[in-house]
Amino acid sequence: MVEKETLERYWRETKKNMLIILFIWAIVSYGAALIASSLNSIVIFGFPMGYYMGSQGAITVFVLLNLYNSIYQNKLDIKYGLAEEE
């Protein structure tokens, strides 16, 4: 059985990580849409940067954030002795 203090520290670190990831997601998702018109002067592979950020960039960042969260959470589980055994 894991101690209550350990679980509270674990949850505190998990919440902090989650809030950072949500902040980055919001900036990329909504921030790119807000500045898309100024990004359109930059062209990548024939597409305006505003279009690229909306169609490819935000999705790529979302996938990378999920990958990072999975790796971080696994390390956190091991650190606090909460990892699932196979």
The domain of 74 spans: 4-79
Instruction: Summarize the confidence of residues 26-49 as an average pLDDT.
Output: 82
- Amino acid at residue number 55: S
Can you read off the two tokens belonging to residue 15? Answer: 């919440």
Answer whether residue 37 is part of any domain: yes
Q: Domain count for the chain, please give it.
A: 1
Whole-angstrom CA distances from 37 to 28, 57, 59, 61 are 15, 15, 19, 20
Q: What is the pLDDT of residues 1-11, one digit of tens each?
A: 679 999 999 99
Entry pTM: 0.77
List, in sequence order, the alpha helices (H) in the chain. 4-26, 32-34, 36-39, 49-52, 58-79
Answer whether residue 85 is part of any domain: no
Answer whether residue 26 is part of any domain: yes
Answer whether residue 86 is part of any domain: no
